[in-house]
Amino acid sequence: MRKIGWADAVLLLLKLRAVLVLVALLILFSVLTPNFLTANNLSILAKHVAISALLAVGMTFVVLAGGIDLSVGSVAGLSGMVAGGLLTVGFYGHASGAAVAVLIALLVSCLVGLLNGVMVTRLGVAPFIATLGTLYIARGAALLLSHGAAFPNLGGSTGQNSGFLRIGQSFLFGIPSPVWMMALIAAITALIARRTPFGRHVYAVGGNERAARLSGIQVERVRIITYVFSSLCAGLVGLVIASQLESAHPATGESFELNAIAAVVLGGTSLMGGRGSIGGSLIGAFVIGVLADGLVMMGVSEFWQIVIKGVVIVLAVTVDQLQLRLQTRLMPALLISRASLGKVKI
Amino acid sequence: MLAGCRAPDRRLLVVVLVPSQDNPFFKAEADAAAARALELGYRVRVDAHNDDAYRQDNLVDAAIASNAAVLILDNAGADSSVSAVRRAARAGIKCFLIDRAINVTGLAKAQILSDNDQGAQLVAAEFARALGRKGDYVELLGRESDTNARVRTKGFHAVLDTLPRMKMVSAQSANWSQAEAFSKTETMLQAHGEIFGIIAGNDTMALGAAAAVKSAGLKGIVIVGFDGSPDAIAAISSGELEATTLQPAVLISRLAMDEADQMIKTGTTGKPELQIIPCELVTKANAGAYRNFERIQ
Amino acid sequence: MTATPQDSSPQIVLEALGMTKMYGAQIALKDVTFRVRRCAVNVLIGENGAGKSTLMRLLAGAEQASAGEIVMDGHVLHLRSPRDAAAAGIEIVHQELSVLDNLNVAENIFAGRELVHAGILVDQVNEEERSGRALSNIGMPMDVQAMQFPADKLSLGCRQLVELARSLAHQAKILILDEPTSALSSAESSVLFRVIEDLKSRGVAIIYISHRLHELLYLGDYFTVLRDGRVVGEGKRGQVDRTWIVERMSGRSPGAAVATRIRLQPTEPVLEVANLSSHQQGRPAVNGVSFSIGKGEVVGIYGLLGSGRTELMEALAGLRKPETGVVKLCGNRVTLDNVATTIRAGITLAPEDRQKDGLVPDLSIRENISLASLTEFSRHGFLARGDEAARAKESAAQVQISAFDLELPVTTLSGGNQQKVVLARCLMRRPFVLLLDEPTRGVDVRAKADIYAVLRELAEKGLSILFTSSEMEETHLLADRVLVMARGSISAEFAAAALTDEALFAAASPALEAQA
């Protein structure tokens, strides 16, 4: 019995490793930098994390279904530029209101996702290639919108677009709006992943596509929806950034996709699909965000920050493999422990 | 167009290569060179190498292949660009380097640069003046592998490090990016209680810092940038930024093209290879006199 | 092939002594002793799951025995990898071809053992020359031009021969052929038989595995029959005949009555299939098949590998779109566009390959069972987990899954229980017609009996079942009526009572039967 308890404990620790790393980082930075553990800083930290977390949540669905989405950074840039262009220049000199600009920017983002999904499912293009293509297409489109320039002063000269600025700048109960968005979207998607037929379908498609198809699951539709959702999250991120900066830059979001994938992987989601969780990705995004901000506060050089981030990702994936192997080895012991707990054969 | 099809365009070709076309500074630089070349009766091709020495190599090869007469280049690295410039020079192309130098002389007909060091010292002095020569400040660095980022920070510190009551509490790279400057400034403002000034290696980062300061609800923090971009000058007029230093990009491009024209017509530029053009300080007092990297009054 | 033996009584080249192999708690081989003689075709016979493939995997070094040893020419061999086996002169030609489609013939023959110049560069000329020699040795001379084609441009038969040439180019002393003719046309098969005769005369020991009795009798010199992981018969050419083999394979005498229950009288048809055809890579896999199944009737399709049985099942399940044919369910036409449509209509398939097509390894047992029925538990878009768990438990009990906890990963179950999970998933949709492709492949005896019992019970409640099998015993035990498929068509139909093993075999390979 003692040995079985030990096996359970080891697996639990490994399963919670991302949380443990996060807690360790929080403690480390609180000790090393005096102002780290203040309400104000934590709120700003969460705001920074929200950007990569939103991307990671969208990416998680794609990865769970066995795909990958490299276009999210570019889509974020495009979405901000579409909104920026509509707010400042508009159609034929008629600048749009904030609501219209937001809706159209999100719609354009979804269209990119739809393109990704259709290429992957109907045309049989490998996800890596299809989304690499849209990475360039969306970035190029963002640059074309303004011939390379930024759209400045999105608030408007008379403050007519203050609604748009509220997307990224307002507070509710002292918590910044992007953090609310992250919490809300993560909660909803976690619920979808765990508690709806669609969520189960996503896991099944990523775990064994042929088995999913034989079970009557419409594999193509599931895949397309995951890509559209990922692009929608990316579009939202683009709007949040444009709103925070009060200007839209065509280069916004470069290499964001790598941060999002890193967060997903840190959270224990398998890039082969079928295994992982939204909560894991959220924690992964927090680990990356806390690490980045903490190192900045400590005054560590940019170059070291990059190295440390890489080391953390590699370690996380290594431990992930270790957990899988250990789990297989300890499974007999676990089976016995379950049986002894009274869950008998049915 | 039809006329062009019948009789081939016999005008000489000028190739303009700049780091990117999605940055207002490089765009102004490229536009000015192209406009002057057309005025002087040349054909023009403009391209961007995205600070990628390899891509620059390919673009230079393409210029050689299309038998260009003049190459106006804002290069992708002081060392990594030498071979490309040498190849172009050997192929008989007259090379004019603008904005950034290379580490070898004798290859280009002229290297016309704005004085980054002088400009940095100019804006740092104004920064110190606005702060009353005292107080904690933070610095936002450009991409640390970039020569200009290093020259500028050196210029800043040549002035600021002589002032005993000014103290830099943190320095972070924001890689020339506004979004990154925004989040890093937010974090630095948290880490260090009383910050009175932010000095940034370019205007884009200065604007990101200004947005972060505004978002934190702070007032009276002195922020200065570098470049003299239109957005920054607008922000100086509205009081969000204190000052910037304007690199005379348009002037430099026109000089380069004029000298190239002279070279083709007379065989000499009549000027030394290395020409340093001083930067100009822009503050609220004179902001109205500048537009798009050039003085208009 | 160093010496050509002159003596008339071929000597034993390899002995596998007391081989035992366990997979977890499941015994695949128990104390099997198998002797391989030089200059002879050593036939290994047994139904699916009898342990033939396991024994071959041990000899080829792909797996290690739990107990027992392999002795070759007086030395004990320690085969830790296929490389070790190849070094000892043991080569295997797999049932599933392992020809690399993207490489050309010579590259295939030397894949993994490339000839090199100066330690780094591939010696292409030499490789092509030796490949050419190996191919003409097996009676398939190929010009240099044709050898440049990637292997996927070759016919199945050609690829089989390329694989054979690969083994021979490496001086095999023992050549294992696992179901070599399953994908071959009869002309291609006779080429293969000539090659085998030739190899035999050159001193190679051949281990030959096949389900096709006439081939075995035609080629074999020594016969070993496996059943349930044990050797149940050994004989020499001349002592062995068809009856001898069938008796030992199935464990009963062929004439004995096997009908254990009163078969159903014909009822109104539930599934009617008319003139169904489906192509695979340009060749007809299913060719104008027509039949019908009554309510509560269990129909078996008996056919060898490559007979088109799996393709027929996949077409009926909506996995592959047929070129022609009409399928009616309870009188209404069903379009076979995709699986979702056929499942909704009431036809569901439990596939042949559980790991590849059936289970989602990352999901729990419960989640695997309910996978096809999730909309049933959907309340306002969310899964009602109580309902789901209850129904999953009910279905698990219905097919007698033995598991500690339905929340455990499905991969913790044994093969038999995994198959029951797939079955439970199909049944949860309450289909009218259940399609089962090889329902008990790789399943242990007890689980087999459970599955048969469950299926019979379901049939009595009115479910129509269509299953394929390549096991005679299974076909006997389960079917009310048997259709035999060969080369894409139905070649015979038997009522259960009129069924004999002999007739099954004959109908399953009519073209070759005539020849042999």
The position carrying tokens 């190459």 is B71
- Chain A residues in contact with C346 (beta carbon < 8 A): none
Question: Which pLDDT does position B140 carry in this prediction?
Answer: 96
Residues of C in contact with A338 (CB under 8 A): 404-405, 408
Closest-CA distance, B21 to chain A, in angstroms, reads 6
**b/e string for A181-217 if b means 16 or more Cβ within 10 A?**
bbeebbeebbebbbebbbbbbbbbbbbbbbbbbbbbb
Q: Report chain C's mean pLDDT, rounded to a whole number.
A: 80
**What average pLDDT does this structure show over C346-352?**
88
Interchain CB contact of C404 with A (< 8 Å): yes
Strand C116-117 relative to strand C121-122, pairing? antiparallel
Express each pLDDT in B187-229 by its tens digit.
Answer: 999 888 789 999 999 999 999 999 999 988 888 899 999 999 8
Position C355 pLDDT exceeds 80: no
B 10-29 residues inside an 8 A Cβ radius of A: 20-24, 27
Q: Are C350 and C423 in contact (CB under 8 A)?
A: yes
Place C331 in a pLDDT band, splitting at 50, 70 and 90: confident
Weakest mean pLDDT among A225-229, A243-247, C34-38, C97-101: C97-101
Out of A44, A251, A252, closest to residue B186 by CB:
A44
Model confidence at C200: pLDDT above 50: yes
Shortest distance between the Cα of C374 and any Cα of chain A, in A, equals: 5
- Whether residue C353 lies inside any domain: the answer is no
- Are residues C107 and C84 located together in one domain of the fold? no
Tell me what pLDDT residue A342 has. 42
Is the pLDDT at C513 greater than 50? The verdict is no
Residue B46 domain-assigned (yes or no): yes
B124-165 pLDDT, tens per residue? 999 999 999 999 999 999 987 777 899 999 999 999 999 999
Domains identified in chain B, total number: 2
Dihedral, B6, B8, B14, B20 alpha carbons, nearest 10: 40
Q: Which of C18-27, C339-348, C375-384, C412-421 has the lowest mean pLDDT?
A: C18-27
The mean-pLDDT minimum among C49-53, C194-198, C476-480 falls in C49-53
> Does the pLDDT value for residue C8 go beyond 70?
no
Q: What stretches in chain A show pLDDT beneath 50?
A: 1-2, 339-346
Chains that touch B (3 or more CB pairs under 8 A): A
CB nearest B190 (choices: A44, A153, A298):
A44
* CATH (domain of B105): 3.40.50.2300
Neighbours of C357 (CB within 10 A): 21
Residues 6+ apart with CB under 8 A from C134: C109, C165, C166, C168, C169
For chain A, which domains are there?
Answer: 16-334 (1.10.3470)
> Above pLDDT 70, what percent of chain C?
84
Whether residues C423 and C503 share a domain: the answer is: no
pLDDT in the model for residue C30 = 86
Predicted pLDDT at B4: 43
B33 lies in some domain? yes
- Residue C77 belongs to a domain: yes
- In this complex, the residue of C339, C405, C425 whose CB is nearest that of residue A213 is C339
Q: Which residues pair with B112 in a beta bridge?
A: B98, B275
Please indicate whether, in this complex, the C-beta atoms of A274 and C360 are within 8 angstroms of each other: yes
CA distance A170 to chain B (A): 9
d(CA C177, CA C216): 12
Q: Furthest-apart CA pair in chain A: how many Å?
A: 76
Contacts of A241 in chain B (CB under 8 A): 179
Q: C148: which DSSP letter?
A: G
Instruction: Give the pLDDT score at B155.
Output: 95
Residue C285 has pLDDT above 70, yes or no: yes
pLDDT the model gives residue C255: 44
Q: Which range marks the domain in which residue C130 is found?
A: 100-169
For residues C458-478, average pLDDT: 85
How high is the ipTM of this complex? 0.78
Q: Tell whether B94 and B152 lie within a shared domain.
A: no
Mutate which of A189, A208, A209, A272 to test chain C, going by most C C-beta atoms within 10 A? A208
Last residue of a domain, one of C403, C429, C455: C429
Band (pLDDT 50/70/90 cuts) for residue C252 is low
Per-residue pLDDT band at B186 (split at 50, 70, 90): very high
Per the structure, how many domains does chain C have? 4
Spell out which residues of chain A touch residue B211, defining contact as CB-CB under 8 Å.
244-246
Q: How far apart are CA C43 and CA C29, in angstroms?
A: 17
Tell me, what's the pLDDT at C198?
A: 83
Statement to judge: residues B107 and B160 lie in one domain = no
Question: pLDDT grade, residue B2 (50/70/90)?
Answer: very low
**CB B16, CB B44: distance < 8 Å:** yes
Per-residue pLDDT band for C185 (boundaries 50, 70, 90) equals: low
Assess whether B88 and B150 both reside in one domain: no
Residue C169: per-residue pLDDT: 72
Q: Please tell me which of A163-172, B244-253, C91-100, C229-238 the model is most confident about, judged by mean pLDDT.
A: B244-253
Q: Does A207 lie at the interface with C, CB-CB under 8 angstroms?
A: yes
Question: How does residue B295 score in pLDDT terms, banded at 50, 70 and 90?
Answer: confident
- Going by C-alpha positions, the residue among C463, C459, C462, C419 that lies closest to residue C439 is C419
The CATH code of the domain that includes C241 is 3.40.50.300
Read off the pLDDT of residues B55-113 as tens digits, 9 standing for 90 and up. Answer: 888 899 888 988 899 999 999 888 888 889 999 999 999 999 999 888 888 999 999 99
Question: How distant is the Cα of A271 from the closest Cα of chain B, in angstroms?
Answer: 28
Pair C513, C500 in one domain: yes
Residues of chain C with Cβ-Cβ distance to A341 below 8 Å are none
Looking at the fold, whether C244 and C377 belong to one and the same domain comes out as no
CB neighbourhood size of B204 (10 A): 31
Is A33 touching B (CB cutoff 8 A)?
yes
Torsion of CA C497, C503, C507, C512, to 10 degrees: 170
By Cβ distance, the residue of B144, B192, B231 closest to A152 is B231
Our answer on whether C and B touch (3+ beta-carbon pairs < 8 Å) is no
Which helix (H) or strand (E) segment holds residue C60: the answer is none
**Coil, helix or strand at residue C327:** strand
Q: Are residues C317 and C438 in the same domain?
A: yes
Question: What gap in Å lies between CA B75 and CA B82, rounded to an integer?
Answer: 9
Rounded distance, CA C247 to CA C265, Å? 30
Domain end residue (candidates: C373, C396, C429)? C429
Residue C89 region, left (φ>0) first, then alpha (ψ -120 to 50), else beta? left
Q: Are both C308 and C452 inside the same structural domain?
A: yes
In the predicted structure, residue C283 carries a pLDDT above the cut 90: no
Q: What is the tally of helices (H) and strands (E) in chain C?
A: 17, 24
> Is B286 domain-assigned?
no
pLDDT of residue C445: 67
In this model, does residue C265 exceed pLDDT 80? no
In this structure, the answer to whether residues B124 and B191 fall within a common structural domain is: yes
pLDDT of C65 > 90? The answer is no
Same domain for C399 and C436? no
Do the chains contact at B21 and A247, CB–CB below 8 Å?
no
Query: Is B58 domain-assigned?
Result: yes
Q: Predicted confidence band at C6 (pLDDT cuts at 50, 70, 90)?
A: very low
Model confidence at C119, pLDDT cuts 50, 70, 90, reads low
Asked if residue C473 has pLDDT above 80, the reply is no
- Given this model, what pLDDT does residue C104 score? 78
As a whole number of angstroms, the longest Cα–Cα distance in chain B is 72
Q: How distant is the Cα of A47 from the closest Cα of chain B, in angstroms?
A: 9
CB contact under 8 A, B144 and A47: no
Residue B290 lies in a domain: no
Whether C487 and C379 share a structural domain: no
Interchain CB contact of B177 with A (< 8 Å): yes
Confidence label for C254 from pLDDT (cuts 50, 70 and 90): very low
b/e map of A143-157 (b: 16 or more CB within 10 Å)?
bebbebbbbbbbbbe
Q: Is residue C151 domain-shared with residue C175, that is, in the same domain?
A: no
Residue C12 predicted with pLDDT over 90:
no
Listed residue (C436, C334, C284, B178) closest to A154, CA to CA: B178
Residue C165 pLDDT grade (very low, low, confident, very high; cuts 50, 70, 90): confident
Q: Are C295 and C267 in contact (CB under 8 A)?
A: yes
**Same domain assignment for residues B176 and B228:** yes
In a domain, B283, yes or no: no
Least confident residue range of A194-198, A334-338, B264-268, C432-436: A334-338
Residue C162 and residue C29 in one domain: no
Asked whether residue C4 carries a pLDDT value surpassing 60, the answer given is no
Q: Select the residue of A207, A210, A217 nearest C363 (Cβ to Cβ).
A: A207
Q: Do C178 and C81 fall into the same domain?
A: yes
Judge whether B208 lies within some domain.
Answer: yes
State how far the Cα of C317 lies from the Cα of C427, in Å rounded to an integer: 15
Beta carbons of C385 and A195 less than 8 Å apart: yes
Quote the domain boundaries for residue B210. 116-246
Q: B250: which 2 tokens?
A: 């348009």
- pLDDT, position A231: 97
Q: Which among C455, C371, C449, C374 has a CA at the least distance from the CA of C410?
A: C371
d(C-alpha A206, C-alpha C297), whole Å: 36
Picking from C201, C218, C251, the residue at the C-terminal end of a domain is C251
Q: Are residues C74 and C203 in the same domain?
A: yes
Q: Is residue C354 part of a domain?
A: no
Torsion of the alpha carbons at A77, A78, A81 and A85, rounded to the nearest 10: 180
- CB neighbours of C149 closer than 8 A, spacing ≥ 6? C104, C105
Please report whether residue C352 resides in a domain: no
Cα angle for residues B182, B185, B187 (degrees, 5° grid)? 110
